[in-house]
Amino acid sequence: MPIIVDIHVMLAKRKMPVGVLAEKVGITPANLAVLKNGRAKAVRFTTLEALCEVLECQPGDLLRWETEDRLDSADPSADEPRPAVPSSTPTPQES
């Protein structure tokens, strides 16, 4: 996923433990861990707002976008072959 969650950066800057942040935001430490580790599929604006309020930051301090190419170059598993993705554009043989 090209959206990177940088909550760990703000936690380090604020010298705040994850458990304290979870309590102040009003979410479980497990749900915060899912978000922090980049495994979340979505985040509610109310949660993002609470994170920004507690950490005294902007949404852009917590979330950033990276291109797939940049992620792949930093990922050691990028050398592994990826499954082919079907294309909606016809190949010369299909025309």
pLDDT of residue 91 exceeding 80: no
pTM of the model: 0.70
Burial class (CB in 10 A: 0-12, 13-18, 19+), 26: exposed
Residue-wise DSSP of 39-57 = --S---HHHHHHHHHHHT-
Reported as a single tens digit per residue, the pLDDT across 27-58 is: 999 999 999 999 999 999 999 999 999 999 99
- Compute the mean pLDDT over every residue in the chain, rounded to the nearest whole number: 83
pLDDT of residue 87: 45
pLDDT of residue 7 exceeding 50: yes
Long-range contacts (CB closer than 8 Å, 24 or more residues apart) made by 36-45: 36/5, 36/7, 36/8, 36/11, 37/5, 38/1, 38/4, 38/5, 40/5
Give the residue-averaged pLDDT of 69-84.
Answer: 55
